[in-house]
Structure 1
Amino acid sequence: MIKDNYKKQIEILKKWAYAYYVNDNPIATDEEYDTLYRAIEAYEKQNPLHVDKNSPTLRVGGVIRDSFSKATHIAQMWSMEDIFDIHGLQTWFDRIHKNVDGAKFFCEPKFDGASLNLIYEDGKLIQAITRGDGKIGEDVTTNVKTIHSVPIEIDYKEKIEIRGEVVIKTADFEIINNQRLEAGETLFANPRNAAAGSLRQLDSSITAKRRLVFQPWGVGFNLLEQPLLSQKMDFVYSLGFLKPPMRENCSTIENIEAFYTKVLTSRSNIPMMMDGMVIKVDNIELQEDLGYTVKYPKWMCAYKFPAVEKITRINAVTFQVGRTGVITPVAEVEPVDIDGVTVERATLHNFDEIQRKDIKINDYVIIIRSGDVIPKIIKVIEERRDGSEKEIIRVRECPTCKSELLDEGALIKCQNLACDDRVVNSIIHYASKKALYIDGLGDKIVEQLHREKLIHSVKDLYDLDLDTLLGLDGFKEKKAQKLLASIESSKGVNLDRFIYALGIEHIGEVAAKAIALNFGFEWINVQAEDLVKIDGFGSEMSASLEEFLHVNKEKIIALTQTVKPVELEQLEVIESIFNGKTVVVTGTMSQSRTEIKALLERYGAKVVGSVSKKTDFVIFGEDAGSKYDKAQSLGVRTLSEEEMKEII
């Protein structure tokens, strides 16, 4: 095989691979493919200096690493709001139309796999990052280059992030599990776990053998000029990426529901596992108008498939102690397979729930699991009772520390702050990604450190040293130093994350941020009567925080002195004619919509997405459309971008 012929053979092999892996429509037999592959491979071994950087033979992997390094997404990867029925869809649909005019929707299947972000620059794949916490993930570039449906080069020179799901076809999943069974290895629970596990193999040659598929569903950072998301995705597909098996542009809720039914009924005919359908506002400008919550974009949601129901029997009830001391009853059930996952336990939530559903030990029950939702019991089958059923007795002492419990009716709490389960679970939460994100401090290590009596509280983490860690099983110097560095880097975190990390019952990320913004470091002295004045705070949340501070104030002060969290900056509003006014932004500006919104908010404006009689100003740029027209018809004052900037 001479060099010129080698180049031609490479192109043939790439076409065959694309037809097989991307189009799912082979144009050569396996024997033909293997024969040409071996011939190219033999030539490359004899002529290593001539190896084409895009040769399919380079997708076999072989790089082995100790661990994955962290990498930062250019634009954040968001979670999605879940809806489960037509009522949830109607609520979401109405909310969209309440805030923006003329929204249309882009719908496609939701594949159940591992989310991935591909970064291309100058036409080359430069980095592949797992979703992680949405801002920082793991760099899996070497592994991803073994996936044939991921182009190594694309015909687009600008920097772009292409997001999608790494999945395994159901048939390939069965093959992998059969191979693992023969090898005496643990089986994967479902294709999603297999895809995620394969993507994070330290040996990239193992990833290459797993026949992973990359299914794109969106873009992150990009300079594409198409006004619709569906148009941007058409461009992405034209670069050589896999198209979804079906997709639909919808205008009405009836259109969306019809397509959902179509996707659901096609579920068994599509080779990759799906767990629902994704609905997105198609117009990019309207997406920016709608904006984001702390967790997800307001312009998209996941319409999940109906939960899978199975019948099983409750063998016993055990009790778990959470990080806030709340005791949760858990049903131990006869193992049952639900959508590829073996379920042996289901939450009973609390004793009010047990009483309401009249749940007893030995009852036959209907249990459901939907996506990542914790399995739960929805109904007792009373017709199957045979007299062997037993009442579930309210616990009087903590199952872990045996101390007396505080019974509040619906909730039963362990008040002992030294309770082992409270300590372990609170530290696990403190180190989690949404809290202080102490990389390397997983559940097992927390349990090990506590078992060895090295940590009895969160503050003890900051007293660990290298010699102590090296004396533990499983710790070598590199691992120990990495953990210590991660603990040290958790210092100086924003105050809202510090408050959230404390694991206060009823205080989530949004509430923690509101507390940090309203009270700063004085939050430690706050009273329930002050908290209820904050928008969204009820008596239950306020009382919970007040009680937590009363019990743990000294410990929090000591931890604060160690961690030294940073106060959030208050937005200093500049006096202007926009103070307290409702403003709508429309059209193409010289700056991004986000920058214009931030500028107006700095001058006291409340920026909203749609025009109404209550709107005070409409700021418009080029190609201003229906919002500008509506403002004119309602007599709302309009300002061009230049006029707005002159005023401020």
Structure 2
Amino acid sequence: MLKNLQDYQSSTALLKKMAYHYYVLDDPIATDEEYDDLYHKIQAYETANPQSIIASSPTQRVGGTALSAFQKNTHIERMWSLDDIFNRTKLQEWVNRIYKSYPEATFVCSPKFDGVSLNLYYQNGMLQSATTRGDGIAGELVTQNAKTIQSIPLEIPYQEEIEIRGEVVISRDDFEKINQERMQTGENLFANPRNAAAGSLRQLDPKITAKRKLKFIPWGIGKHHINSGSFLEVINKILQYGFHPTPFITHCAGIEAIQTIYEKLVSIRHTYPIMLDGMVIVVDSIEAQKSLGYTIKSPRFACAYKFPAIEKSSKILSITNQVGRTGVITPVAELEPVEIEGAMISRATLHNYSEIEKKDIKINDTVIIIRSGDVIPKIIKPITALRDGSQIDIIKPTHCPVCGSELLVEDIFIRCQNLSCKARVKESIFYFASKKALNIDGLGEKIIEQLFENGIIANILDIYSIQAEQLLRLEGWQEKKAQNLINAIKNTKNVPLWRLLNALGMEHIGEGASKKLASSFGLEVFNKKYDDLIAIDGFGKEMAASVIDFGIVNHDLIEKLFEIITPKAPEISPIAPDSFFASKTIVLTGTLSNPRDKVSALLESLGAKMSGSVSKNTDILIYGENAGSKLEKATGLGVQTIDEAELQKILASEKIKLSDLN
């Protein structure tokens, strides 16, 4: 028995040390019997003295009742996706872009683990929350489950608030053991270690998560108060707080060192206990990271150097023609199942019929298939030497496989033009309700199919007329399930405008473009002309034309959806309506001393319209160091050009400082 509080505190510190060496370092400093004996003494003291329990005690890792569902939680700082590079040429291009701004830059390389990204938020040294990546803005709150992972400290010595990011992984051996257990109990098997890690982390009962041997390996930070210094030093400092060591993390002075560590990781990818799918490269200087900033979807100071794709061969058994929401017919090869990196592959896209003709692919061909990380399996080429005379030509369809209407054969694409085609409508509804769009929980593909076949919905607008009574007449529906769906549909009312624009599924218009449209034009998006749209930074001709065409063809649908949903447009209120930059179309070029996205945001707040290309409609070009063709073109067109020093003078006259952006 433990005698007093001091005895309890010292014993808890010893137990934490034992647990760290046993679970995290695989280097026990005590026998199982000694560990269990001390654990139960501490547990007995805590039962008798609940007011004295130390929050980071190992006894507190498993606890809490099972949840009915996970709550959403917003990250303090966005969890960005990384841009991918696949070869040394692209690596050289990426490094050269960094060198333009920071010629003395060095880098930190670490393995890219194939697991589940998790964001840990600490405040005053205590773990406050653990949130999955989700869409990068918000994810699922899995704090109770995270507390069962021994390599996640419940308490750290760093007292300021900080988000520590990393990957939750499971070893190949532990993955096999879990699947053997599931096989014996008749449960569905996990496809690969990543799926096992994701399924384990998202258990509603933390006690189930605790039984799985999950590991958390740090790879980065989100919200923090560190403004300068070395990224590697920060990570190494974090690792001293009780986290699992980050293997192979290496400081690299240049491209040769980067390539060397990459090739080392490639050589061990199939034998390393944890699945790897590439290597992450990060600029080491935190100050440089902050200056380089971000694009719409990814940091400029980091990238993922992906491993070469895994190649396997299989046989094409038949072709299925899928109809997408825009009517495009996509041929999909049905294959003899083949395992690639732990996943059973039985289908692969053939993209279009021009691709089939160019590669000379036939039914009954043995073909080479690649799959790299999350990339959809793709057929590279047929092995013509293995043809035995049983091969059959793949013929272009002439009529829609769903509605039977005649297909339009374009240059590359074959398209169903029937707007009432069930496949087109169902795909549109599925996308409209998906997480990346309006996120209508409970309205998945199977439910949409059921509602469609029972005549409850025939188009997107019908979603908003669904009654609980209609649902209760269907197989598998109970009052709670029906009401949950009705509530989820109601919750789409007053969503941000960009979400509705994204949900419409306009060709070439994704999340980033939808946000730009919303912030540029508000509810007047579909009343704008081509020249207005093309002036948006990053918009090309196809994107502008797509918005115009969609608005004309679907005028009535858009009008009714706007009326039903009443989306919230972002406030467009310039902080200085009389600014020199108000109503002017501006292009930025060259290397600026401040992050370009922040300069753009500032100018937009002053009423400017930002564009990515110089044209006769450009009013001002602002240039930094190493300005190239855009400056030449602007000069040739007689466009006003100003450098960053002059920009600062103009802003200063309006009592605005560029330095405030840092």
Structure 1 length-normalised TM: 0.87
Pick which of 491-500 and 426-435 moved more: 491-500
CA 51–283 in structure 1, closer or farther in 2 if over 3 Å, else same: closer
Q: Could you tell me which residue of structure 2 aligns to residue 262 of structure 1? A: 264
**Shift of residue 643 of structure 1?**
6.8
Amino acid at match of 1:316: S
CA 232–574 in structure 1, closer or farther in 2 if over 3 Å, else same: farther
Of residues 321, 324, 344 in structure 2, which corresponds to 1:322? 324
Q: For this pair of structures, how many residues does the alignment match?
A: 625
**Cα deviation digits, residues 524-573 of structure 1 (max 9, x gap):** 35566775565655554455444434432222222221122344444736
CA 391–639 in structure 1, closer or farther in 2 if over 3 Å, else same: closer
Cα distance in 1, alignment partners of residues 654 and 28 from structure 2: 59
Residues 1:203 and 2:201 are matched in the alignment = no
Q: Could you tell me which residue of structure 2 aligns to residue 140 of structure 1? A: 142
CA 38–181 in structure 1, closer or farther in 2 if over 3 Å, else same: farther
CA 539–8 in structure 1, closer or farther in 2 if over 3 Å, else same: closer
Of residues 162, 172, 175 in structure 1, which corresponds to 2:174? 172
State the SS of the aligned residue for 2:120.
strand
Pick which of 358-367 and 81-90 moved more: 81-90
Residues 1:575 and 2:542 are matched in the alignment = no
Tell me if structure 1 keeps the 8 A contact 2:623–2:644.
no
Aligned 1:537-576 pairs, distance under 5 A: 537-538=539-540, 540-570=542-572, 572=574, 574-576=578-580
Pick which of 383-392 and 472-481 moved more: 472-481
Cα distance in 2, alignment partners of residues 537 and 69 from structure 1: 36
Amino acid at match of 1:374: I
CA 513–57 in structure 1, closer or farther in 2 if over 3 Å, else same: closer
CA 134–636 in structure 1, closer or farther in 2 if over 3 Å, else same: closer
Q: Could you tell me which residue of structure 1 aligns to residue 349 of structure 2? A: 347
Structure 2 length-normalised TM: 0.85
Residues 1:358 and 2:353 are matched in the alignment = no
Q: Could you tell me which residue of structure 1 aligns to residue 160 of structure 2? A: 158
State the SS of the aligned residue for 2:164.
strand
State the SS of the aligned residue for 2:338.
strand
**Shift of residue 124 of structure 1?**
1.1
State the SS of the aligned residue for 2:348.
strand
Tell me if structure 2 keeps the 8 A contact 1:365–1:378.
yes
CA 437–325 in structure 1, closer or farther in 2 if over 3 Å, else same: same
State the SS of the aligned residue for 1:333.
strand
**Shift of residue 410 of structure 1?**
1.6
**Shift of residue 450 of structure 1?**
2.4
Of residues 397, 400, 403 in structure 1, which corresponds to 2:399? 397
CA 51–550 in structure 1, closer or farther in 2 if over 3 Å, else same: closer
**Shift of residue 134 of structure 1?**
1.1
Q: Could you tell me which residue of structure 2 aligns to residue 2 of structure 1? A: 2
Cα distance in 2, alignment partners of residues 594 and 387 from structure 1: 59
Tell me if structure 1 keeps the 8 A contact 2:589–2:621.
yes
**Shift of residue 507 of structure 1?**
2.4
5+ long unaligned stretches in structure 2: 611-619, 629-642, 658-662
Pick which of 42-51 and 452-461 moved more: 42-51
Tell me if structure 2 keeps the 8 A contact 1:601–1:607.
no
CA 522–172 in structure 1, closer or farther in 2 if over 3 Å, else same: same
Of residues 67, 87, 90 in structure 2, which corresponds to 1:88? 90
**Cα deviation digits, residues 424-470 of structure 1 (max 9, x gap):** 22122112233222334333333333233222222122222444444
5+ long unaligned stretches in structure 1: 615-633
**Shift of residue 233 of structure 1?**
1.6
**Cα deviation digits, residues 176-199 of structure 1 (max 9, x gap):** 111111112111111110111111
RMSD: 3.3
Amino acid at match of 1:20: Y
Tell me if structure 1 keeps the 8 A contact 2:622–2:644.
no
| Percent identity (aligned) | 51
CA 11–550 in structure 1, closer or farther in 2 if over 3 Å, else same: same
Tell me if structure 1 keeps the 8 A contact 2:579–2:654.
no
Tell me if structure 2 keeps the 8 A contact 1:279–1:302.
yes
CA 492–551 in structure 1, closer or farther in 2 if over 3 Å, else same: same
Of residues 183, 190, 193 in structure 2, which corresponds to 1:191? 193
Tell me if structure 2 keeps the 8 A contact 1:289–1:608.
no
Of residues 227, 244, 247 in structure 2, which corresponds to 1:245? 247
Pick which of 231-240 and 470-479 moved more: 470-479
Q: Could you tell me which residue of structure 1 aligns to residue 222 of structure 2? A: 220
Cα distance in 2, alignment partners of residues 609 and 525 from structure 1: 32
Cα distance in 2, alignment partners of residues 593 and 228 from structure 1: 23
**Cα deviation digits, residues 14-57 of structure 1 (max 9, x gap):** 22210122223222344543454455556656776665443323
Aligned 1:324-473 pairs, distance under 5 A: 324-473=326-475
Tell me if structure 2 keeps the 8 A contact 1:63–1:142.
no
Q: Could you tell me which residue of structure 1 aligns to residue 633 of structure 2? A: none
CA 609–164 in structure 1, closer or farther in 2 if over 3 Å, else same: farther
CA 53–473 in structure 1, closer or farther in 2 if over 3 Å, else same: farther
State the SS of the aligned residue for 1:504.
coil
CA 610–278 in structure 1, closer or farther in 2 if over 3 Å, else same: farther
Cα distance in 2, alignment partners of residues 11 and 647 from structure 1: 53
CA 159–513 in structure 1, closer or farther in 2 if over 3 Å, else same: closer
Pick which of 33-42 and 205-214 moved more: 33-42
Amino acid at match of 1:23: L
Q: Could you tell me which residue of structure 2 aligns to residue 304 of structure 1? A: 306
Tell me if structure 2 keeps the 8 A contact 1:99–1:610.
no
State the SS of the aligned residue for 2:579.
coil
Amino acid at match of 2:121: I
CA 98–483 in structure 1, closer or farther in 2 if over 3 Å, else same: farther
CA 509–249 in structure 1, closer or farther in 2 if over 3 Å, else same: same
**Cα deviation digits, residues 309-348 of structure 1 (max 9, x gap):** 0011111111111111111100011111101011000000
State the SS of the aligned residue for 1:487.
helix
Cα distance in 1, alignment partners of residues 193 and 523 from structure 2: 47
Amino acid at match of 2:423: D
Q: Could you tell me which residue of structure 1 aligns to residue 57 of structure 2? A: 55
Q: Could you tell me which residue of structure 2 aligns to residue 124 of structure 1? A: 126
CA 593–540 in structure 1, closer or farther in 2 if over 3 Å, else same: closer
Pick which of 112-121 and 84-93 moved more: 84-93
Q: Could you tell me which residue of structure 1 aligns to residue 283 of structure 2? A: 281
